[in-house]
């Protein structure tokens, strides 16, 4: 069965449409209205080997918070829908990703229990120039929304790092690789990978 999903969520603040193919090849069409966030979702798709189309109309004239958080919610819902009852998957994923001076650790369990543990330097500089300033704090907001909607346990830690751009990029790439590992089908797994028989 193809592991695909489509979700549309409209609120007073955002209008979001996402199409996802878990078993893709890294193709993406991303338009959130937030240039740096588009960059993060594009590389997330590329390194996770997902196919992803994202169209967002948000209140970016206010700030980027609603757009980033709500996109995390809808993307998490898409993965949850596409994975169904999670029969046959690996379930766990882990990746340690270096990017220049930065080292990001991402570990996840598609457990059905939403939880985020996030450890990274605080009070980091915002990212961006003429294209618009992206607060580094929004990375955590995206991860919290995504993990809650997907109902996964997610641990993210910056082991080393100084540059906001590098840390954000390492996190999104590490998330992609960990999620790719966790969602893979394992022919040795019979049914749902849990002694509870439900995830």
Pairing of β 102-109 and β 4-10: unpaired
- Give the percent of the chain with pLDDT over 90: 93
Please give the pLDDT value at position 1. Answer: 84
| Domain count within the chain | 1
pLDDT over 70 (residue 127): yes
Q: Is position 8 within any domain?
A: yes
Q: How much is the pLDDT for 129?
A: 66
pLDDT category, 123, cuts 50, 70, 90? confident
pLDDT of residue 69: 98
pLDDT tens-digit profile of 3-43? Answer: 999 999 999 999 999 999 999 999 999 999 999 999 999 99
- The answer to the question of residue 23 being in a domain is yes
Residue 193 lies in a domain: no
Is residue 114 situated within a structural domain? Answer: yes
Residue length, the chain?
199
Residue 109 inside a domain? The answer is yes
Say which CATH number the domain at 75 has: 3.30.230.40
Q: Is there a domain that residue 197 lies in?
A: no
Residue 45, classed as helix, strand or coil, is helix
What pLDDT does 81 receive? 98
State the Cα–Cα distance between residues 192 and 182, nearest whole angstrom: 13
Provide, for the chain, the percentages of residues in helix, strand and coil under a 3-state DSSP scheme, each rounded to the nearest 5. Answer: 35, 30, 35
Q: What is the pLDDT of residue 89?
A: 98
Which parts of 112-187 are beta strand (E)?
115-119, 153-160
pLDDT at 158 over 60: yes
Give the per-residue pLDDT at 135. 94
Q: Evaluate whether residue 80 is within a structural domain.
A: yes
pLDDT at 130 over 90: no
Mean pLDDT over all residues of the chain? 96
- Residue 176: give the domain boundaries: 4-183
pLDDT of residue 73: 98
Output the pLDDT for position 131: 57
User: 67: which residues sit within 8 A by CB, 6+ positions away?
Assistant: 14, 32, 33, 34, 37, 56, 58, 59, 60
pLDDT category, 128, cuts 50, 70, 90?
Answer: confident
pLDDT at residue number 58: 96
Look at the pTM and tell me if it is higher than 0.75. Answer: yes
pLDDT, tens digit, for every residue of 37-63?
999 999 999 999 999 999 999 999 999
* Widest CA span in the chain: 52
Residue 157 in any domain: the answer is yes
């Amino acid at each position: 069965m193809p592991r695909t999903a489509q979700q549309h969520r409209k609120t007073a603040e955002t209008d979001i449409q996402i199409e996802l193919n878990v078993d893709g090849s890294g193709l993406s069409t991303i338009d959130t209205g937030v240039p740096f966030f588009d960059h993060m979702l594009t590389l997330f798709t590329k390194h996770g080997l997902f196919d992803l189309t994202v169209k967002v109309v948000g209140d970016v004239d206010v700030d980027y918070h609603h757009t980033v958080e709500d996109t995390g919610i809808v993307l998490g819902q898409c993965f949850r829908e596409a994975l169904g009852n999670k029969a046959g998957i690996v379930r766990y994923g882990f990746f340690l990703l270096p990017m220049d001076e930065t080292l990001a650790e991402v570990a996840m369990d598609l457990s059905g229990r939403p939880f985020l543990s996030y450890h990274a330097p605080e009070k980091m500089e915002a990212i961006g120039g003429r294209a618009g300033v992206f607060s580094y704090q929004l990375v955590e907001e995206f991860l919290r929304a995504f993990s809650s909607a997907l109902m996964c346990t997610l641990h993210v830690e910056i082991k080393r790092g100084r540059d906001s751009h590098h840390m954000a990029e390492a996190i999104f790439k590490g998330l992609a690789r960990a999620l790719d590992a966790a969602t893979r089908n394992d022919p040795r797994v019979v049914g749902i990978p849990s002694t509870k028989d439900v995830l």
